[in-house]
Amino acid sequence: MPVSAAASAREILTRLHDVMAARSPAQAKLNQVVEIIGEALDSEVCSIYLLREGVLELFATRGLAPEAVHVTKLALGEGLVGKIAEQNEILNLDEAASHPDFAYKPETGEDRYHSFAGVPIVRRERSVGVLAVQHADPRRYADIEIEALQTVAMVLSELIANAGLIDQGGPKDRVQSTATVRIAGQKLVDGMAAGYAVFHQPRVTIEHTVAEDTEAERHRVYAAFDKMREQIDRIAREAEFGVGDEHQEVIATYKMFAYDEGWARRINEAIDSGLTAEAAIERVQQRTRQRMRQIDDPLLADRMHDLEDLSNRLLRIVSGQMGTAAQLGLRQDTILIARNLGPAELLEYDRRRLKGVILEEGSLTAHVTIVARAMGVPVLGRVRDVRRTIAEGDLLLLDVTEGSVLVRPTLPMEEAFDAKLLLRQKRKAAYAALRDLAPQTRDGHRVTVMVNAGLRDDVAALDVTGADGIGLFRTEFQFLVSATLPQRERQQRLYREVLDAAADRPVVFRTVDIGGDKALPYLTSNDAEEENPAMGWRALRLALERDGLMKAQARALLEAAAGRTLNVMFPMVSEAWEFDEAKALFEAQRDWIASRGRRLPSEIRYGAMLEVPSLAYQLDLLLPRVQFLSIGTNDLTQFLFAADRANPKLAERYDWLSTSILRFVKLVSDQAQAAGVPVAVCGEMGGRPLEAMALIGLGIERLSITPAAVGPVKAMIRSIDRSRLRARMADLLAAPPRDVRGVLSDWAAGEGVELA
């Protein structure tokens, strides 16, 4: 019989409180616990498995064979119980034997039971056991029953830890060596930094889980919420980013979570079940973590991270354990380490001492990444098991350019790092000196070098680098950092400010490339989950279907560019008719604005991104209709080679200097030049000096690259003879060697080309 109300969970906790307060041995307490839970849930079986010496041991049971206690053991990952502990996840099955991970243990006598539900017993963020119930009749346990089990599991973690029944600490909680080690991660914000390891926050240890006075606990939570919101409001007021307010929008989204009544209500419901304020917050936080593990959408997961960061803040306030590293103050050059951070958390640190950040999680679209980029703080993400390999106070050499961090380096390693950092700084100074010099080859050919951007602050790179303009402004970034669909007025304000900051330099706006692997939580679809989102319903495909979104963006762009030239580019065009439909939509909005007597752009130039190979075979149809063309090498490469660039096994497998890529670019470049249509290359390929050199040799005259690449690429351009380069590239494509990269590198060295 399912539990009928939250009061049932409170009744269980009340009885467990009496058990825990008794002076009986721990084993006797566990024997009583399984009886209490089994009776409350009307479940024929209730079992507790605890992690000891690396294996899960059946410690107590109601319903299974008594002789199986302390005999039945499961490895992590073995059977349903092992899977729950290993994955730290919940299982709720109406027919346990049909699950692929089911493992039958004959000594338990469990073959007559069909239904199964199990939850992990979590202690200090790791699974230390499993609480499971079973029933003879096939049925799924109700959500309220599962929540009751999770609440009980939290109380059990306190009981079994105090009794010393589980492995204490565990390998994930201890640094195993003092030797030098290099750890790899994902490049989130580029840069190099040296500093000493500081963990963002010590773990908050919850000493008591069962409430004595529910109302008193509720008042403690209310007071903690008030204090937390005051902190967030203060951080939002004091945040300074310079140009524009895109980052304030990130903080505003974070602030929205702080005031979310649904979150507060869930904590209150946990208190109603009989938990203390600390345990209630942790209980809801555990559910958030479990949801995060089930979320494939990285953007939605990032927003769940924001909620977890706020939970940590709330937990520290209510427990009185306020000593985060930020609040204690940084005493020396610091590399900050955290599982994840919210933007408000990062802003609390002293920017003079904070040199870099290492995250166990993190992503390119996470709010903290956006804020760190604005602060100029390098960030390395997806660094696993940091607590096992890094100790507080360890010296760290962070090199996000290489995607790694060196822990406890030797003196020669420090000297090599310092030399590399000095060389990097000298090169940056040398590149800065090129700012006002034209990217012109030795034989007098001018190459257009522009930058890619996505935020207002990115426009400042034009003055810093001396770039010719913005060749790709990714308009979707505003959509990615917003909690709701950005209103047309907000979009218009962003586009106008970008154009104002760029002054007389051109800006090419790419319409939103969302959907697929850049799904937005506020643009949900009823369609089945896509197996290959990068090649799915995204970019122009999605925008033409949801034309209301594109109409709003079209009006925002047209009105923002009033009296100026508007360059607009459509992403992921597969066939010429898609371009026609997108242009017609823009033209209809132009006519609507004109009919109301409003100012229009002085000129509208339409272009397309060539990322899908099929478009190369419709260039005879497309080129007469466009004013410019951009080759997007990032997506083009994965489509051309059928190689998912998100797959780490394939990420480095296909070389941009392969004959296939080079010949494809040459094919497009030749046709565009014959039609008198300027063609640019947007993407990482153009930002690498050797690859950029090859592109120029193929006839490409316009590059749009990351701001950091402008200096090195400009230096390369000023050191080449374009006519000699084109002749060499023609020879290589006519009779390609096996190693084009090696041959081209040797040629560049012989010609004195600067390839930093």
Beta bridge partners of 358: 337, 380
Edge-to-edge, what's the strand order for the sheet holding 192-199?
181-184, 404-407, 395-399, 192-199, 334-338, 354-359, 379-381, 186-189
Q: Which residue has the tokens 């497998």?
A: 653
* DSSP category for residue 160: H
- Phi then psi for residue 289, to 5 deg, are -60, -40
Q: 679-682 and 702-705: which strand pairing?
A: parallel
On whether the CB atoms of residues 406 and 421 are closer than 8 A, the answer is no
Compute φ and ψ for 445, nearest 5 degrees: -95, 125
Structure tokens at 178: 């003092």
DSSP class of residue 112? G
Which of 219, 305, 367, 445 is flagged as catalytic?
367
The whole-angstrom separation of Cα 429 and Cα 433 is 6
Residue by residue, DSSP assigns 439-458 as -B-TTS-B-EEEEEE-SGGG
* CB-side neighbour CA atoms (13 Å) of 749: 6
Find tokens 């059990």 and name the residue. 156
Q: Is residue 187 within 8 Å of residue 155, measured between CB atoms?
A: no
307: nearest Cα among 521, 456, 486: 521
**73-75, strands of its sheet edge to edge:** 73-75, 55-62, 45-52, 126-135, 115-123, 91-93
Instruction: Using alpha carbons, list the distances in angstroms from residue 406 to 331, 370, 415, 525.
Output: 21, 24, 13, 43
d(CA 35, CA 431): 73
Taking the C-alpha atoms of residue 161 and residue 215, their distance in angstroms, rounded to an integer, is 27
How far apart, in whole angstroms, are the C-alpha atoms of residue 579 and residue 573? 6
Are the C-beta atoms of residues 145 and 90 closer than 8 Å to each other?
no
For 680, the 3-state DSSP assignment is: strand
The string of DSSP codes covering 119-131 is: EEEEETTEEEEEE
Asked if 596 and 559 touch (Cβ cutoff 8 Å), the reply is: no
**Amino acid found at 53:** E
The owner of tokens 């041959």 is 743
- Tell me, yes or no, if 367 is annotated catalytic: yes
Cα–Cα distance for residue pair 582/606, rounded to 1 Å: 10
Q: Taking a C-beta distance cutoff of 8 angstroms, is the pair 751, 720 a contact?
A: yes
* Cβ atoms of residues 436 and 466 within 8 Å: yes
Q: Is 682 annotated in the active site? A: yes
- CA–CA dist 305, 254 (Å, integer): 10
How buried is 177 (Cβ within 10 angstroms: 0-12 exposed, 13-18 middle, 19+ buried)? exposed
Cα distances (angstroms) measured from residue 542 to each of 209, 297, 538, 607, 683: 48, 17, 5, 18, 22
Look up residue 571 and give its two tokens: 């992403």
Q: Which two structure tokens, joined as six digits, stand for 286?
A: 């555990």
CA 297 remoteness from chain centre:
9
Q: Are 571 and 510 in contact (CB under 8 A)?
A: yes
Per annotation, catalytic residue among 46, 135, 200, 682: 682
- The helix/strand count (H/E) of the chain reads as 27, 22
Show which residues are catalytic.
367, 682
